[in-house]
Chain A
Amino acid sequence: MNLLVLVFLLMVVATGHVATTLVGLKLRAEERLAYGTIIGTVIVSTVGFGFAWVGGVDKLTMLGSAAVSLVAMALLAQLAAPAELAGLRTEFVDTGRRLRLGWRERDNPWPLVALTLLGAVVSIRILALAYGTTVDGGLEAGHLSVFGDWSAHMGYAASFAYADNFPPELPTAAGESFAYHFGVDWFSAMFVPLGLSVPASLQVSSAFLAIAFPAVMYSASLRLVKSRLAAGLAVLVFLASGGTAALFRFIFLDLIDEGIGVLGALPRAYAFDGFDRNWVDNAVTGFLYPQRPTMIGFTITLFGLAVLWQAREGADGATTTGARASHRPHLFVGVLTGLMPIFHVFAFGVLVVIGFFWALLERTRRWLYFVVPTLLMGLPIVWWQIPERSGRDGWHTFWMLGLSSWERTFGDFLWFWLLNTGLFIPLAIWGFLSTDAEQRNRFLPIFGLLLIPNVAVWHFWPGNNVKYLAFFLLLAAPFVGERLATWLRRGPVFALGAVLLTISLTLSGGLDVWRAFEGTTGAAPGQAAWPVGYLSGSDVLVGEWVRDHTEPDAVLATANSNVHPVRALAGRTVVAGADGRLNDLGVVWEPRVEALRIVYGVFEGFDGVIAEYEIDYLVLGPMERQAFRPAGAPDDWDPAEFWDAAAPVVYDVGGYKIYDVRSYQ
């Protein structure tokens, strides 16, 4: 990380911090900092995207975007909330005072500071291990998240950073609209002109958002629960979630077999077993780390609901203006929600559903300030993102059970949820029922997030249903935390029970986080010992060459692999990326793959395919030779025999050749 990156990040935080004055609620300095980090990310990314579209992706535009965002927020705050803006300094002074309070004082922010520091160490360590180099100059992936999902994210970020992807198109499918919430990848791309490589930009932007996550969740939870302990437990049970698999696999298999030393090389992931029986992964290693948009979506959802809860009718002294019916909280959350389809479309859905539900409960005019911007801004983006292929598979019962190897019985259904979430759901229901009527009424829709994936599949890949469940775990965690905190204070027997329950809820996920954090893994049968090779030195060479020597808007024909260097390092648009679950996005892949077969096999009509997809360069490397070998072709089949004579070779190093095929367009 260099100074420009640091300055940029500081401006992002400052932008968000100032923006929180527009919320119109009484917030503490540490809350503003935590929320501001995410809000600043959303604002600067949005402004920067517009600037980059017009002015290109360069250092000046990126720093200018952050500076303009900061100044704009300051001016807006000066106009709309001068008192709150002036009060920021007082809030910091007050934080200094509260830092000196006793530990037991509720206003003491040291638990939040400690939680943030711990989260920072864990986040930085995990993300520092994301990429490594191999002896041949290649890249290795430190975690499944990096090998899998981050391949796509790296390609998206690189497409913005190096390939001038404005207006955005899906870089993995030439000519397709960008049917993905790419905001966080654009945010990563903003670091590239500031001096970071694309892999480093993913690491730094993820670390930045990850460090803020526990602080945001703690702050939001603290508005919903009665104690700091409950808020802390809410963060713990969510971030270390992962079901009960470790109770058997770790305690009765790995620990007994290898002793305590197994912690130095955990042989398997515990919360997730590759969609056999454990589908619901740990929040950190399964949702936040690989699915980077969640780091914005989850936190904005928590912020939005905390604000709307604090601003509800009848809440005590919540607004800074003193007017309980102030519309500013609703307008602020409405605008943020309207932007969410760019950053995390699931968060958009959740905020819309819960927000509209609360609007129905209140039925006051100020909810229009939430509803109108949400719909006006959000729906056009969603409409633009909808892919050409529908992913709806319809209704069903007992989601996942029908897809797993189990019988579709009610017993298996219960067993499935016990394995995947332990006693989280009963505890959440208990906590929910124990709270006051208003909170019960308002948060009832979160159980819909548990219900929906059990009865419907609305995605191309049914496993995506787990994304609804993740929101349930996130929003129900404060209820679970409250319940555990209550028992911890109710005598030794209850406290012991609460401790055991907490362990049961967090052991699997905690071990998975530890495995990512510790970095040295063993391998149980069928599992990988991380890190693993991701790109070879030869791959890196070709990827960097394409980045430096081809036109930004060039279209390339490559193998449809998840780890192809042209896509990952150069960000250039390719005819077909991987057609696996990580890259479905509603694209109809089959004709594209078939087109590539025609080109590489030099079958009749190959020139028409080149013209149809406007292919500029044809890459011929080990992956292409393997992927597009025609059935029955001889062992020494090599399309280079044809292409060497048919098109100029512009690159020929290390088993890769690149042909300039523009003459066929």
Chain B
Amino acid sequence: MTTLDDASAPPTEMPGQLALEGFDPPPPGPDDEPTVAAPTTGWRTVRTVFLVLVAVALVSRLAALGSRPLHHDESLDAWFSWRYLNGTYEGYDPVYHGPLRFYITAWFYWLLGESEAVARLLPALSGVVVVALPWFWRRDLGKAGTIGAVVLLTVSPSMLYFSRFGREDAFFLALTFGAMITLVAFLRRPKWWHPTLILALVVCAWAVKESIFLSIFVVGSFGMVLMIQDFITAKPPGEHSLSGSRALSDDMVKRITLVLGLVCMIAAFAIIGVDPERDLDAAGEPIGLDPTFLWLGGLGGLYALGIILAWFDSNRRGVRLTDVRVFGSIATAGWKGWSIAVGVSIFLFVGLFSQFFRDFSGPGSEAAPHGAIRNGLTAGFEYWLGEQDTVRGDARWQYYLAVIPAYEWMVLALAFVGIVRVLRRPTLLGQVLVWWGVSSFAVHSWAGERMPWLIIHPLLPFVLLAGYGLQGIWGRRTSMATVVAVPIAAALALGLVVTAVSSYQAAYVRGGEPQELFVQAGQATPEVPEWTERLELLNQLSVAEFGRNATVSIDADVFWPYGWYLRDYPGGTYAIIDPAEVPPDSDVIFVPHWKQQQVGDQLEGYVAIPYEHRWWWVPDLDASGGFGEPGTVAKAWLNWVWDREPWQASDNAAANSCPGSLVGQVYMRAELFELEQRYRNGEPPPAADKPDYDGPCQRLD
């Protein structure tokens, strides 16, 4: 295990390090130093508590991992991994995101067997890694801050829920978090292997999700602002103070550049808008520059202009390029370090996108029409850009503003303290966290796809800022009056308990039920796994009694997640059912409600069973949602925070949103139905456990 002393060990260097004339590694500036200095005996306790929390995280992420019915997207991930295991995966297609998690989950299947829990194992383990990674920043966060951040990551409802959710987000988050930690280390005390690790993690993240482009944007923009800061505040060799030569202190320069940089970015996104409309020519082709490119290009140009001006200024003061942190770190890695980094990245990239050098052709789909490598390089970005216009998920830019506070109000409150603390003393890590949090929030709010599982990406830096804020509060505890300290401590304790209960309810008790805002429209109802088991029993009975498999036809509109659940079902279950022409030999037929009338009319000798396939709830969060009195939304929101009772506006009564579900009908051949009854000794099949709303929904008039 790494000790605190290791952090002060001299950096290892590669032989053949890049030799720059007159270059010395940049001395750490005052903001490079962690806020907590030498290790003390108290760290042993912190380490013990940290290990206990990681154990709690492990248990909480793994417990009953397979119990919630699979969401539509989870089932696709599980299915593609299974296809990779069976050698039928066709390669990267950005519609289904990167292949790396398919490879890893396939390996888990191979080792542990195929199940819903194993399909979610990679995100669960990634979630544990995310909980553990703040340890690398413990000297910055401080004892209370480290423990606080780890506790919040462990109990955060969003973090827990989406660590147990079989999509790629938790894994992507762990990779980008690891890359960010390495990047900060590289800026502080560069070592030859840092670029290799950073680029390897970036390539892995690239092979997981196209969000890597957003991450690159966040990091790249911060790098530009950091360069402006460093050019302005850098000191020529031998000079230790700029006092008297400049009106602004270093900290003030950092505050201004940080805030101004973020304001410009937010302004650019506000100008572009979430759904930019472009003028079209007669042929329907857009005219002029895409506003996204125009304004983001302008933002980049603005940052670049700042860099150039600051560079001129620093040059005038005799500052060398390598005195600036970014350039100094790049130089320290040396040409061998960078060669290895580039070589390893290319090798990884080609390996990951070619199914480990076995298949260089792509799937040939509309979104991935090229070869495997070109698809990896360009198709993801092109697809993502194309999706910007379609606006997937929630259409409202303020979606995260409404959802994140609903679960993570405690994180946000402490993060606010953390941001204030950073602005008072803008350390490198503090600035990184503020930039990462605010810009991620902005870019995710602007980006066309707003989904609950994306919450964790902007949330992570705020959790770390919350730890930072907590350390600030903890540091002032001795100077606080009791009358202040006790209520703060009580509020924190109460908030933690409420958050933990909320997290427990969302993850275990109500996991997958539609009143939770984490539940998106693709979530299957508990009837889906119930029906899976029932179909398997029906097939057993059919083979045993009639000597043939039960034929099951599931209409394409209600097929997923059965594609995963019934992957081994003999003969297949997928069907595109034309209501005018019902499959003649089917023993069991699943149809959505818009087909059930027509299909039901044609069937004779079948038993009709009502069926609920997926469910959701889209709360009316807009002020213009038709509510009569101001504050009604806030009241409904607060009610929901308290009792998780969904609501809807009165003028939205017909919108099937309180909660709504995709219903349909299952038709079962009477002969098979009777056989099942006989086997069960006349007892009914187990019924799915569903939520019961008092209202059934709060009605807001």
Chain A residues with a Cβ under 8 A of chain B? 1-3, 6, 96, 99-100, 121, 124-125, 128, 133, 135-138, 536-538, 540-541, 545, 549, 652-656
Contact = CB atoms under 8 A, between A and B. Distances in A.
Contacts of A100: 1
10 closest Cβ pairs, A-B complex:
A654-B544, A137-B540, A538-B544, A3-B63, A537-B540, A136-B543, A135-B570, A128-B113, A537-B543, A654-B545
Contact of A653 (B1, B62, B110, B541): B541
A135 B536 CA distance: 9
Given A2-B64, A96-B1, A653 B112 contact: no
Interface string B507-546: 0000000000000000000000000000011011101110
B568 interface: yes
Nearest to A651: B679
A540 B64 CA distance: 26
Contacts of A656: 544
Nearest to A130: B113
A128 B544 contact: no
A654 B678 CA distance: 12
A125 B110 CA distance: 7
Nearest to B113: A128
B549 interface: yes
A652 B541 CA distance: 11
Given A135-B568, A653-B675, A537 B539 contact: yes
Nearest to B675: A653
Contacts of A6: 59, 62-63
9 contacts: A136-B540, A136-B549, A136-B570, A137-B537, A137-B539, A137-B540, A538-B544, A545-B679, A653-B544
Contact of B540 (A99, A125, A538): A538
A541 B544 contact: yes
Contact of A3 (B64, B543, B681): B64
Interface in B182-229: none
Interface string B553-576: 000000000000000101000000
Interface of B: 1, 59, 62-64, 110-113, 117, 536-537, 539-541, 543-545, 549, 568, 570, 675, 678-679, 681
Contacts of A540: 540
A435 to B, nearest CB: 38
B541 A541 contact: yes
A653 B545 contact: yes
A138 B541 CA distance: 11
B541 A654 contact: yes
A566 to B, nearest CB: 15
A549 B678 CA distance: 13
Given A128-B111, A549-B681, A537 B544 contact: yes
A656 B678 CA distance: 13
Contacts of B541: 541, 653-654
A654 B543 CA distance: 8
B338 to A, nearest CB: 30
A538 B537 CA distance: 10
Contacts, number: 66
Contacts of A545: 679
Contacts of B117: 1
A121 B64 contact: no
A287 B661 CA distance: 55
Nearest to B678: A653
B111 A137 contact: no
Nearest to B67: A2
Contacts of A538: 540, 543-544
A2 B117 CA distance: 9
B536 A137 contact: yes
B540 A3 contact: no
A655 B59 CA distance: 46
Contact of B111 (A124, A136, A652): A124
A540 B1 CA distance: 50
Contacts of B111: 121, 124-125, 128
A655 B64 contact: no
A2 B118 CA distance: 12
A6 B540 CA distance: 32
Contact of B568 (A124, A125, A133): A133
Given A96-B1, A133-B568, A538-B540, A3 B59 contact: yes
Nearest to A7: B59
A137 B541 CA distance: 9
A149 B688 CA distance: 38
Contacts of B63: 2-3, 6
Contacts of A133: 568
Given A128-B112, A653-B541, 9 more contacts: A1-B117, A3-B63, A136-B540, A137-B540, A541-B540, A541-B541, A541-B544, A549-B681, A656-B544
A346 to B, nearest CB: 32
B504 to A, nearest CB: 13
B145 to A, nearest CB: 24
Contacts of A654: 541, 543-545
A3 B62 contact: yes
A537 to B, nearest CB: 4
Contacts of A135: 549, 568, 570
Contacts of B545: 653-654
Nearest to B115: A1
B75 to A, nearest CB: 19
Given A3-B59, A96-B1, A541-B679, A655 B544 contact: yes
Contacts of A138: 540
Contacts of A125: 110-111
A96 B51 CA distance: 13
B675 to A, nearest CB: 7
Which of B536, B539, B543 counts the most chain A CB atoms within 10 A?
B543
Contacts of B544: 136, 536-538, 541, 653-656
Nearest to A519: B110
Contacts of B62: 3, 6
Contacts of B64: 2-3
A121 B59 CA distance: 21
Which of A135, A138, A540 counts the most chain B CB atoms within 10 A?
A135
Contacts of A541: 540-541, 544, 679
Nearest to B112: A128
B236 to A, nearest CB: 42
A611 B475 CA distance: 82
Contact of A136 (B112, B539, B675, B678): B539
Contacts of A3: 59, 62-64
A545 B536 CA distance: 15
B383 to A, nearest CB: 36
